[in-house]
Amino acid sequence: MKMTGAQALVKSLELEGVEVVFGYPGGVMLPIYDVLIDSKIRHILTRHEQGAAHAADGYARATGKVGVCMATSGPGATNLVTGIATAHMDSQPIIAITGQVATHMIGTDAFQEADTTGITLPIVKHNYLLKDPREIPYVIQEAFLIASTGRRGPVLIDVPVDVSRGTLDFKYPEKRTSLPGYKPTTKGHSRQIKEAAKLILKATRPVIYTGGGVIASGASAELATLAKMLDIPVTTTLMGKGAFPETHRLSLGMLGMHGTSYANYVMMKTDLIIAVGARFDDRITGRLDTFAPHARVIHIDIDPAEIGKNVAVDVPIVGDAKLILKELVAALKGSSSVAERPDIRPWLKQIDEWKKEYPLVIPSDGLKPQFVIDTIYRVTKGKALVVTDVGQHQMWTAQFYKISKPRQFISSGGLGTMGFGLPAAIGAKIGRPKDRVIHIAGDGSFQMTVQELATAVLNNVSITMAVINNGYLGMVRQWQELFYNKRYAHTCLRRGESPDFVKLAEAYCAKGIRVTEPDEVEPALLRAMREEGPFLIDFVVDSEENVFPMVAPGASLDDMIGGK
C-alpha cells in the first residue's frame, strides 16, 4: 500500500496498539498531525511539551503500557528533555516522537533545528534519526520492543519533515522478540537461584528489599509468596511502593533517607538482603562503607550493569524478577533444608519492638501536612491511585499513604522532577479512567506545570489536586534549617503574595476551595471526590514542618535526625 511517511508512522502506532498520544504540534510536525486527526488514536493537547512527556510517563506507570508523546523540532524537542530524563531514571517505557528539519538542512543551523538525538543520547535507552520513509515501520516496531522489554526505558524517534512527506510501499514487519545485539536476559541462572535458596535458609535476620523492577515485571504475587512462606519482612524503595502491601504485618514501609526508622534499623542489622529489582541508590544506602555491615547480598535484576555497581553482591542473578522469584520459591519448597531453617522469631520480635518504639507520628497542633495525607488515606480507604510531585509532600505521602497494589503510587524518583505530578496525574487518569486519582503537590512544584490545568479541564479529567501549601520550597528550606543555620536563601514563596490557588483554578475553569483548619479537611475531600472534572484543594499548612526521620547526606543509615 502506497503511503506517505506520516501515514506510515501513524498506522504503525495503531498497529502497536497505541490508543492515546500526548503532544504539542509545530511546523515540521504538520504532516504527522494532519494524518493524526483522522486516525483512531486520541491526541491530548498539553500546554507545554514537558507536560506531554510527563503525561506519557504517568500513563505508562499507571497502565504498564508504552506511553507516547510528540513535539516539534528545536524548542519543542528540547522541552521534552526533562520528561525523557525522568522516565529514563525511573526505567519507564515511553516513545518520544520529535520533528526535525529536512534531511538536507541538518547541520545548517536551520530555523528550529536542534541536534535532538545528540542531546538525548545520555537519557534514552535508544534513539533514531530517520533518513528514509521506508525505515518508519521497522523503526516504530523496534522502538516499542526496546522500550518495553529488558530494563524498560524511553526511546526517541527524530523525524525530518521530508521523511514525513516522502512515500513508501507500506508493509508492517512480522512481530519480533529480539534484535541483533539486543537480547535481554530474562531467565535466571539455575545454579545461582539454588545458591540464593541456600543463603535464605541459613539466614537468621533476613530482609527483602524491593524496587520498581518488581512492579515492572509484574512480580508482586511471587514476591508476596516468598515473603509469606518464610515470614521474611519486606521494605521498598519509593519506586517499589505497592510491590508488597504496606498494610501487611511483614511490611516495613519505605527505607532510606526519609524511610521509616525501623526499616533503616533492619537494614543495618540484617544478615541477608534479598534485593529484587532495586539498585542500591544513594538515597537508600546512606554512607556506603557503613551500609548493612553484617549482611550477605542476593541481587536479582534485569540489568547486569546494576549488580555490584554500588554494593558488593554475594549471589548475583540477572533476569526477569517474576521468572526468577517463581524459580526461587520452587527451589525453596523443594529443599529438604526448610525444616532445618534457623528460628527467625527473635528477629521478627525485634522488628515489632522497633515499630513500637519508632512509629511515624502525626503532630496534633494546627493543620499539619501529615494529618492531611493521613486523612486522604482514610477518606479514600487506601484505594486511590496516588500521584505526587517532588518535595516534602512526596515524602509525607510515601510515609502516610499505605499502598497495597502495584501501579497505585506514581512519583518521580531518580531525577526528582518538580512539576511531574499534575501532567502525570492527567496521563494516569486517561490511562485508567475508572480509578480515583489523587494528585498531591507542594505549592512550589505545582506552579512548575500549572498550565496543564487547561489540559485537565478541556479533557474533563476528574482528578483531585491536593496542594500542600506551606509557603516555602519546603525540602530545600528543611535542608537550610538543618545544615545552613536557617539561612533561608530564596526558598520563601511569600505565601501572602503568591498566587491564590483557588482563583488560579477558577481562572482555568476548574473548581477549588481553601482549607485552613483540621476539621475542614475531610469535608473538603469528600466534596472534591463528588465533583466532575479537576478539583483543587489548597491546604494551608504549617510553614516550617519538617519530614522526619531523615538520614543526612553522607550519614550512616542508622544515624537519623528525628528518628523518635
pLDDT score, position 381: 97
pLDDT truncated to tens, each residue of the chain (564 aa)? 899 999 999 999 999 999 999 999 999 999 999 999 999 999 999 999 999 999 999 999 999 999 999 999 999 999 999 999 999 999 999 999 999 999 999 999 999 999 999 999 999 999 999 999 999 999 999 999 999 999 999 999 999 999 999 999 999 999 888 899 999 999 999 999 999 999 999 999 999 999 999 999 999 999 999 999 999 999 999 999 999 999 999 999 999 999 999 999 999 999 999 999 999 999 999 999 999 999 999 999 999 999 999 999 999 999 999 999 999 999 999 887 888 899 999 999 999 999 999 999 999 889 999 999 999 999 999 999 999 999 999 999 999 999 999 999 999 999 999 999 999 999 999 999 999 999 999 999 999 999 999 999 999 999 999 999 999 999 999 999 999 999 999 999 988 788 999 999 999 999 999 999 999 999 999 999 999 999 999 999 999 999 999 999 999 999 999 865
Phi, psi of 305 (to 5 degrees): -70, -20
Select the CATH number that applies to the domain covering 190-357 from these four: 3.40.640.10, 3.40.50.1220, 3.40.47.10, 3.30.200.20. 3.40.50.1220
Distance (Å, whole) CA 236 – CA 246: 9
Give residue limits of the domains in the chain.
Answer: 2-169, 190-357, 369-548
Query: Amino acid identity, residue 254?
Result: M
Interhelix angle 5-15/136-148, nearest 10 degrees: 30
Residue 563: the pLDDT is 60
Q: What is the DSSP letter of 309?
A: T
Residue 125 sits at the vertex; the CA angle it makes with 157 and 299, to the nearest 5 degrees, is: 160
What pairs with residue 251 in β-bridges? 234
pLDDT of residue 406: 98
Fold category of 369-548 in CATH: Rossmann fold (3.40.50)
Task: Report the candidate in 292, 265, 237 with the shortest Cα–Cα distance to residue 352.
Answer: 265
**CA 190 → CA 99, 151, 196, 276, 330, distances in Å?**
46, 21, 10, 16, 11
d(CA 389, CA 188): 36
* pTM for this prediction: 0.97
Region 2-169: CATH code: 3.40.50.970
In 306-462, the DSSP E strands lie at 315-318, 385-388, 409-410, 437-442
Inter-residue contact 123 to 132 (CB < 8 Å)? no
pLDDT tens for each residue of 167-221: 999 999 998 888 999 999 999 999 999 999 999 999 999 999 999 999 999 999 9
- Measured in whole angstroms, the distance separating CA 416 from the mean position of its chain's CA atoms is 10
Q: What is the pLDDT of residue 340?
A: 87
Please give the Cα distance from 399 to 347 (Å, whole number): 23
Measured CA to CA, the distance from residue 449 to residue 451 in angstroms comes to 5
Q: Strand 20-23 relative to strand 42-45: parallel, antiparallel, unpaired?
A: parallel
Assess whether the region 190-357 and the region 369-548 belong to the same CATH fold: yes
Q: Are strands 155-160 and 206-210 parallel, antiparallel or unpaired?
A: unpaired
- Per DSSP, the three-state class of 297 is strand
Q: What angle do CA 127, 158, 12 make, to 5 degrees?
A: 90
288-199-356-242 Cα dihedral, nearest 10 degrees: 80
Q: CB 20: neighbour CB atoms within 10 A? A: 18
